[in-house]
Structures are given as C-alpha cells and as structure tokens.
C-alpha cells in the first residue's frame, strides 16, 4: 500500500505506474481515493472545530457556575450535548470514509522501481545472468517421478487416495534427500548471519491482508472453517507478521531471519504438463529468508538475498540463472523481483526454484512495522523476502542434474554429512 500523501501530491505518477503494470482499469481508483480523502479531511476539520468549540463552551460553563448563573450554564450544557451528538456523527462518517479509502488503497499497486523492465506478463521477463554450465547428457533423463520411483522414493497413488491430487508420500533415500536439503539450507543461512526461526503455520486475516494482495490471497490461501485463521502459503507471511504493530530502534536493524515451514497452497488455475509430479503441489516444505531494514538499505539487501539462493544451488553443482520480473508480472505489493531458475537437462530449459522480492514499505505500512531513529522520529521499515530452497522443485533439479547413465544419483560433497556420508544413491 502506497503512502496516501504521495498519491495526493503525485496522482499522475501513480496513474502512470498503474499503466506500466497494464492495469488500466484501476486508474479511476486514484481519483476516487482523492475525493474520499478530501471528504475525510474536511470531516476531520469539522470535528476538530467542534471539539475546540466544545472545550471553549465547557470553560464558560465553569465560569457561569462560579458566578451563580445556573440557567445560562444549563443552556450551554444543552449546546454541548447537541455538539456531542454531532461529533459522534462526524466520527462515524470519518471512520466510514477511512474504511472506503483503505479498501481502495489496498488495490492500487505499489510504485515499482525505475529499473524494472516494462512488460505485460512473464513472457517478457528479462534474463540477468547465468551461473554454471548447463549440460545435456548423452543419455535420456526420465521424468522426475520416474527417477524417484526407481528408488521406491515416492507414492502418488496412495497420496491421491488419502488427500487427492497435489499431494505425495516421499520415502527412503528420496525422503532423506528432501530433509537433507532443508537442513543444509538452514545451516547455510545461519552461516551467513541469519537467525533461524520456526514460525506459526497459521495466521489471522489481518496478517494475510498485510502481506499480500487480495488476488494472491484468493488464489493461494486455505481458510480454516469457523476461525479467523489461514494456513500459510509460505513462512514469509508469518515471519513478516511477527513484527506487526511494532517500533524497532534503528540501531537494531537490519533484522535478518531464515525460517522453516510447511506451505499450503490452493494453486488455482490450469497448469501445463511440466507441472505434474511434484512441480506444483498443495503442500510442501521450504526454507525462507526475510529482512526488515532501513529504506536506504533495501536495494543492497535485495542483491544479497537472491545471491544467497544462487550460491546455495551452485554449492550443489546445479546450474542456475537469474530472471528479472517485468512490470506486468510483479505482484501489486512488490517494488522489484528476481526469480532464480535451475537448469533442467530433461526439458533443456530453466525453471523457477526461488523468488526474491523487495516490497519497499508496502507490507510495513499495512502492518504498522515502524522504526525509530536516534532523534525519536518514526518511519516505516522496508521488508524483503526470498526462497532459500523449496525441496519439491529442488528435488527435480537435483535428480536431473546428478543422474548418471546407470541410474545412480551423485551426492555433492556439501550434502554428504546430511546423508550419512553417502556419495551416491544406488
């Protein structure tokens, strides 16, 4: 959510930003907000004037009572009562105008960084850099679930009977590999100075609307029936929510945390053939990283965060590349975003394994995450998040890139301590 003062003073800039995101239907909302805000401020002024007059009358009542002029004092008391009723009406009107304004402001997209490429959708995202040499072996690579099945490592049929499509059982060495990657990613981030955290896996609605747009919420979140609780789609949601309505001393920034959690997603919409298996599922586990920092530091932290994911994958000998999301592919709260994509030797192309986002002060403004400087001034923090690793997709990249012609899978050196010293899966 952008600053309403900025919108009030720069309506054309906000409209141009909406055009860059190809959401022209929202342009009219800017004028609606300005009208509502003007009415709200007018109501506020009227209420302030009434309060000032009421205070003045109250003093006069005291003076009249001291002078023994009780009848005149009683008349003034009646006037105070009438103004109290009027004030209650104005307060109610102001509350209604604020709610309408905030509802619209939640829909107006955040101001994107000037470096973001302009494009309508993910087909116009821009490759930034490749890391590692993508290799296509001289033998056929089976689909990832076929590789897992050869190790008796996955059971989709049983999961379908128990929970439906979009779930799986992992077993044996494949399940161990899954846990090994999570444990390695946890220690990797701790070694880089991040504090490890296991957050709540459910959050309240005010946190949900604080961390994401309504469109994302509808497409992703599972609601707990009969309660004001949602299952998290990623631990970023509860990790950012951890700082709701807080004021942090500036010298304590940045706050850098890495969190483990299961993730639950509806995954609405139709998907292609490459999204069967464990590519796009309703339940998975993930290691995440989040940063709460000063506004002037968020660009620096953005580059550090996506680089962490690149370094993690390269430490496991998996080629990756970074992709910058164009304006039309950015979620409404995001200022700038990179995807990290891993090489798929079977598909002979890259696919997304992580997403790094700078949200500016949008989440902080919604959740009232503030910072206090040495002079006592308060301002909104900037928040960032990035995927360290999500093993379902990570397993696809891992198995394809380390598969040998004889069907064995090599274990990189960094993972061997987490796999009981194994160098191969046979």
Q: What are the domain boundaries of the chain?
A: 4-105, 122-425
- Candidates 3.30.2010.10, 3.40.50.300, 2.130.10.10, 3.30.930.10; correct CATH number of 122-425? 3.30.930.10
**Rounded distance between C-alpha atoms, residue 426 and residue 420, angstroms:** 14
Q: Render pLDDT for 384-418 as a digit per residue (tens, 0 to 9).
A: 999 999 988 999 999 999 999 999 999 999 999 99
Q: Which of 53-62, 249-258, 334-343 has the lowest mean pLDDT?
A: 53-62
Phi, psi of 73 (to 5 degrees): -65, -40
pLDDT over 90 (residue 220): no
CA distances to 9, 57, 87, 147 from 43, rounded to whole Å, are 20, 21, 10, 67
pLDDT number for residue 91: 85
Torsional class of 22: left (φ above 0), alpha (ψ -120 to 50), beta (otherwise)? left
Summarize the confidence of residues 369-380 as an average pLDDT.
97
Each residue of 41-58: b (16+ CB within 10 Å) or e? eebbeebeeeeeebeeee
**Rounded distance between C-alpha atoms, residue 388 and residue 371, angstroms:** 26
Q: How many CB atoms lie within 10 A of CB 267?
A: 14
Burial class (CB in 10 A: 0-12, 13-18, 19+), 399: buried
Res. 260 pLDDT band, cuts 50 70 90? very high
**Rounded distance between C-alpha atoms, residue 90 and residue 96, angstroms:** 10
pLDDT over 70 (residue 59): no
Summarize the confidence of residues 282-301 as an average pLDDT.
96
Summarize the confidence of residues 344-372 as an average pLDDT.
96
Q: Render pLDDT for 169-198 as a digit per residue (tens, 0 to 9).
A: 999 999 999 999 999 999 999 999 999 999
332 or 49, higher pLDDT: 332
**Rounded distance between C-alpha atoms, residue 282 and residue 166, angstroms:** 5
pLDDT number for residue 47: 82
63 or 347, higher pLDDT: 347
pLDDT over 70 (residue 124): yes
Omega of the bond leading into 160 within 30 degrees of 0 (cis): no
Contact 355, 338 (CB under 8 A): yes
Q: Which of 229-233, 273-277, 375-379, 412-416 has the lowest mean pLDDT?
A: 273-277
pLDDT over 90 (residue 215): no
**Rounded distance between C-alpha atoms, residue 227 and residue 308, angstroms:** 37
pLDDT number for residue 165: 87
State the number of CA atoms in the 13 A half-sphere of 411 facing the CB: 22
pLDDT over 60 (residue 274): no
pLDDT number for residue 87: 80
pLDDT number for residue 319: 98
pLDDT number for residue 268: 59
Report the SS3 class of residue 389.
strand
Torsion of CA 143, 145, 150, 153, to 10 degrees: 160
65 or 33, higher pLDDT: 33
57 or 332, higher pLDDT: 332
pLDDT over 50 (residue 270): no
pLDDT over 80 (residue 208): yes
Residues 6+ apart with CB under 8 A from 410: 402, 404, 423, 424
Res. 273 pLDDT band, cuts 50 70 90? very low
**CATH level 2 (architecture), domain 4-105:** Orthogonal Bundle (1.10)
> DSSP letter at 351?
E
pLDDT number for residue 62: 63
**Rounded distance between C-alpha atoms, residue 291 and residue 384, angstroms:** 5
Please give the mean pLDDT across all residues of the chain. Answer: 91
Q: Identify the sign of the CA torsion 30, 34, 35, 39.
A: positive
Q: Render pLDDT for 3-29 as a digit per residue (tens, 0 to 9).
A: 999 999 999 999 999 999 999 999 999
pLDDT number for residue 134: 96
pTM confidence score: 0.88
Q: Which of 52-66, 124-138, 326-340, 373-387 has the lowest mean pLDDT?
A: 52-66
Summarize the confidence of residues 272-295 as an average pLDDT.
84
Percent of the chain with pLDDT over 70: 91
């Amino acid at each position: 959510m952008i600053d309403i003062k900025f919108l009030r003073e720069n309506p054309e800039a906000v409209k141009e930003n909406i055009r860059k995101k190809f959401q022209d239907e929202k342009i009219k909302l800017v004028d609606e907000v300005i009208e509502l805000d003007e009415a709200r401020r007018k109501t506020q002024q009227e209420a302030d004037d009434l309060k000032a007059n009421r205070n003045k009358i109250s003093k006069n009542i005291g003076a009249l009572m001291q002078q023994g002029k009780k009848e005149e004092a009683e008349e003034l008391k009646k006037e105070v009562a009438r103004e109290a009723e009027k004030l209650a009406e104005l307060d109610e009107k102001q509350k209604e105008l604020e709610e309408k304004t905030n509802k619209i402001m939640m829909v107006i997209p955040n101001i994107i960084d000037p470096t973001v490429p302009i494009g309508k959708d993910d087909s116009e995202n821009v490759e930034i850099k490749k890391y590692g040499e993508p290799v296509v072996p001289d033998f056929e690579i089976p689909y990832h679930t076929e590789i897992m099945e050869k190790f008796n490592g996955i059971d989709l049929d049983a999961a379908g009977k128990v929970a439906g499509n979009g779930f799986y059982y992992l077993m044996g060495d494949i399940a161990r590999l899954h846990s090994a990657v999570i444990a390695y990613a946890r220690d990797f981030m701790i070694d880089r100075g991040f504090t490890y955290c296991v957050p709540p896996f459910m959050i309240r609605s005010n946190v949900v609307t604080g961390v994401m747009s309504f469109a994302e919420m509808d497409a992703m979140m599972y609601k707990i029936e009969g309660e004001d609780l949602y299952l998290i789609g990623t631990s970023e949601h509860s990790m950012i929510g951890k700082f709701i309505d807080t004021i942090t001393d500036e010298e304590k920034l940045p706050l850098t945390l890495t969190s483990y959690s299961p993730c639950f997603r509806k995954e609405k919409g139709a998907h292609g053939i490459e999204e069967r298996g464990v590519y796009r599922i309703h339940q998975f586990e993930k290691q995440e990283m989040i940063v709460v920092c000063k506004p002037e530091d968020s660009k620096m932290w953005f580059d550090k965060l996506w680089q962490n994911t690149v370094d993690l994958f390269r430490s496991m000998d998996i080629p990756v590349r970074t992709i910058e999301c164009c304006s039309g592919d950015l979620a409404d709260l995001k200022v700038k975003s990179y995807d990290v994509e891993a090489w798929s030797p079977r598909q002979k192309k890259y696919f997304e394994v992580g997403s790094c986002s700078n949200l500016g002060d949008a989440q902080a403004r919604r959740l009232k995450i503030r910072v206090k400087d040495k002079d006592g001034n308060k301002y909104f923090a900037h928040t960032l998040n990035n995927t360290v690793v999500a093993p379902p997709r990570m397993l696809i990249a891992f198995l394809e890139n380390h598969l040998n012609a004889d069907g064995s899978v090599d274990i990189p050196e960094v993972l061997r301590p987490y796999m009981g010293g194994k160098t191969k899966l046979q």
